[in-house]
A = this chain, B = another copy of it.
Amino acid sequence: MPELRKDPIVGRWVIISTERALRPNNFHADKEEPLTDLSKCPFEPGNEFSTPPEILAYRKPDSKPDEPGWWVRVIPNKYPALRIEGNINKHADGMYDVMNGIGAHEIIIETPNHNEEMALMPETQIKEVLWAWHDRIIDLARDKRLKYAMVFKNKGARAGATLQHPHSQIIALPVVPLHVQEELAGALQYYQYKDRCVFCDLIQQDLSDRKRVVEDTEHFISVVPFAQRFPFETWILPKQHESDYARTTRNDILELAGVLKHTLQRLRGALDDPPFNLVLHMSPLNTESLSHYHWHFEIMPRITHTAGFERGTGFYINPTIPEETAQFLREVQL
């Protein structure tokens, strides 16, 4: 059973994922392994037997579960960081706090096509992926032990991907993670002072001065954040206030798919297909709609190493000027 351990100083939880069973003496750095023989890819149509049974699939009406015929398929991670079975069993280990690693760890296979990637998919396919994220969040919220669902995507080995086939992941946790707690607390403080959502305010400012805007549609905006941590970091936000991604409407999901595609295309064009992480930040599961918080995507290309300074301080050194990267992204030909 994986274990959640709490740092007694800052209260940060860490997953000690013993089931992944990497022993110290056979520990090696992860490496990129480009797959030439697609029959070995566990995410290929026809290889459904090599994954755990599917949790959800969008598939042809006459096709059967765990067989081909799907265009998006969600499965449990075969090597999960957390386990869905069991009790949370919070307890002490002397001065330290521990709980069982209860949670969900799922893979969203985004397409049957191994060599496709999100920036190059048709918008209609990206839309299906966005629906899968949406549907899994709603289903996971039914498990009242789970407090947060984190959707994320690692593209490229340097961004932490171990399989090439386009996929994203959801990890649902029994605690709200520290970064999200910090965002919630900071946004609440701003709201209490100004009576406005800080994200709504930054959208307004960025729309009026336009210096950091990358994409701008009726309901969504993609911007380079003012205090950009990483070169080419880009966020996507709904213009209308909403804290819960799962409350996005049908028409908006299609529009969002377009904004996401164009943003990824621009990053791909600007940086020659960079590795990146994409994360979805939204309100915790089973909370009422929050006036002070605003869901958003954060896309973080991995083109520089973070070093001791960043690790030690939580401070970032960004060697690019955010407004220049925004302009550069706007000028990429789609």
Residues of A within 8 A of B (CB): 5-18, 20-25, 27-30, 81, 93-96, 150, 152-154, 157-161, 169, 171, 173, 177-180, 182-183, 186-187, 190, 198-199, 201-202, 205, 209, 225-229, 231-232, 270-271, 277-281, 298, 300, 303-309, 311-322, 324-325, 328
Contact of A308 among B29, B93, B160 (CB under 8 A): B160
Contact B319 A20 (CB under 8 A): yes
Beyond A9-B183, A17-B318, A315-B14, is A277–B160 a contact (Cβ under 8 Å)?
Answer: no
Q: How many copies does the complex hold?
A: 2
Contact B313 A205 (CB under 8 A): no
Q: Please give, as numbers and ranges, the residues of chain B lying within 8 Å of A11 by CB-CB distance.
A: 186
CB distance from A200 to the nearest CB of B (A): 11
Query: In the complex, A8 Cα to B95 Cα: how many Å?
Result: 35
Contact B279 A314 (CB under 8 A): no
Query: In the complex, A195 Cα to B232 Cα: how many Å?
Result: 46
Q: Please give, as numbers and ranges, the residues of chain B lying within 8 Å of A14 by CB-CB distance.
A: 227-229, 315-318
Contact A312 B179 (CB under 8 A): yes
Q: Please give, as numbers and ranges, the residues of chain B lying within 8 Å of A15 by CB-CB distance.
A: 315-318
Query: Which 8 pairs of residues, A with B, have the shortest CB-CB distance?
Result: A160-B307, A279-B312, A152-B308, A277-B308, A177-B313, A179-B314, A178-B314, A7-B227
Contact A30 B321 (CB under 8 A): no
Contact A321 B18 (CB under 8 A): yes
Contact B317 A17 (CB under 8 A): yes
Q: Please give, as numbers and ranges, the residues of chain B lying within 8 Å of A159 by CB-CB distance.
A: 305, 307-308
Contact B314 A231 (CB under 8 A): no
Q: Please give, as numbers and ranges, the residues of chain B lying within 8 Å of A199 by CB-CB distance.
A: 9
Q: Please give, as numbers and ranges, the residues of chain B lying within 8 Å of A198 by CB-CB distance.
A: 8-9
Q: Please give, as numbers and ranges, the residues of chain B lying within 8 Å of A152 by CB-CB distance.
A: 307-309, 311-312
